[in-house]
A and B are shown apart, each in its own frame.
Chain A
Amino acid sequence: MAEPLPFAQGAEVNDYRWTSGAYDLMRDGKLVVKRRSPGHSIVATGACPRCTHDVDYTFLPSISLPRGDLKTLGKGPKITKGEEERPTHGSSQEDDGTAQYETVPILCRCRDDHPGRPEGDRGCGIVFNTELLSE
């Protein structure tokens, strides 16, 4: 039985080969990245370009957040969809002047063992970009 890959560290985490590998896997139908509907969750299922385990990733663009910038007697942590900063999503690019593509980073959140992974974390440690047609 093959040794499990160690948890990715340093430059390996966001190496471009994972992005190009993920594109190949998507083209082969082995990795699927979908947005359920505009403004809602992004779900990635299928092979990770590094460890080949199921990436099992769900990105919620809008979540319930603790707000530290309000006074004690101010409003509570009110959640407004789309109000919070989206860390990396939403960069759209035009293709041939018509189609809009959105860059969506995907984390490997597989549940298989990867030595060196922080306690309570998931995945093999890599992140890769996908570029999806905007709806």
Chain B
Amino acid sequence: MRDCLQHRIAQRVTTPEKFKLPAEAPKTGVSSDLGAWAKLADDAPKRAAAAAVTWRTGLAGFVTLLLSVLVLKGADVGDIGGPYRWIAIVSLACGAALAIVGLWKALSAEAPPETTGDYDRVIGTHHSVAEYLQAVAEGSWAKLRHARLFVGLSLAAILVGIIAWWAAPLPPKQGKVSITWQTSGGQRTDCGSLVAAEARAVGLQANDATDVVTVKTSDIVRMKQVAIC
């Protein structure tokens, strides 16, 4: 009994106090630093939402512009030939898809989906609601980082598509012909679009003329296809 009491007394003596009197007061400036820190913490969800709104607005404009250009000019990609055509089509389509995914991520960062929450679970995981709100802000920033990644990949894909489009060899112009033919005064050369070709005559519309020049096939000295007149 006596030994047990002595043991308990010894345990009480050696157990340190949970707190003690500090030797000094906080330094000057600690108050304003902690106040500013608390304000930073309070404003974190608002800052994340504001950044997400900016990104969402910019990305929505970018996606709208990109899709408009693709709708209006996309059919022209079909004119280019060879592997360039498929490189351009696949790159531009991927670029548009990645930009849309980036926009989606920015939207979800701006307005995180609501769900039914359990207080005990939130406290168990984050230790306090204040820390949970920080985690929500961190989540929004993570989604914005993903949005930026997708936008970066989208821009790269669009760049590849544009380069493939520009680098593709132009298809030969069709219908432009240069005809040298015999007239009563000598030889004459006309160049333009071939609008008719019969057994006895051909019709040629020169670039600078509205009337069609009809040339008998028997008078043709030379006829060749040209890219430009």
Contact = CB atoms under 8 A, between A and B. Distances in A.
Contacts of B22: 19, 23, 103, 129-131
B33 interface: yes
B128 A41 contact: yes
B8 interface: no
B1 interface: no
B85 interface: no
Interface residues of B, number: 35
B138 A105 contact: no
A132 B20 CA distance: 7
A130 B134 contact: no
A33 B26 CA distance: 16
A71 to B, nearest CB: 13
Interface string B7-41: 00000000011111110111110110111011011
A60 B130 contact: yes
Majority secondary structure of chain A interface residues (helix, strand, loop or mixed): loop
Given A14-B27, A62-B134, A64-B134, A76 B38 contact: no
A20 to B, nearest CB: 7
A111 interface: no
B115 to A, nearest CB: 20
Contact of A128 (B25, B134, B148): B25
Nearest to B148: A76
Contact of B31 (A13, A16, A20): A13
Interface in A14-50: 14-16, 18-20, 23, 26, 33, 36-37, 40-41, 43
Contact of B26 (A14, A77, A95, A125): A14
Contacts of B130: 41, 58, 60
Given A77-B141, A107-B38, A58 B128 contact: yes
B16 A129 contact: no
B131 interface: yes
Contacts of B128: 36, 40-41, 43, 58
Majority secondary structure of chain B interface residues (helix, strand, loop or mixed): helix
Contacts of A130: 19, 22
B134 A109 contact: no
B151 to A, nearest CB: 11
B191 interface: no
Given A36-B128, A63-B134, A14 B35 contact: no
Contacts of A14: 25-28, 30-31
Given A20-B21, A41-B128, A133-B17, A65 B33 contact: no
Given A18-B25, A23-B21, 19 more contacts: A13-B28, A19-B22, A37-B127, A59-B37, A60-B41, A63-B37, A64-B47, A66-B47, A76-B144, A76-B145, A78-B141, A79-B141, A88-B27, A105-B30, A105-B34, A107-B31, A131-B20, A133-B18, A133-B19
**6 nearest A-B pairs in the assembled complex, by CB-CB distance:** A99-B16, A129-B22, A127-B31, A16-B25, A64-B137, A64-B44
Interface of A: 13-16, 18-20, 23, 26, 33, 36-37, 40-41, 43, 58-60, 62-66, 75-79, 87-88, 95-96, 98-99, 101, 103, 105, 107, 109, 121, 123, 125-133
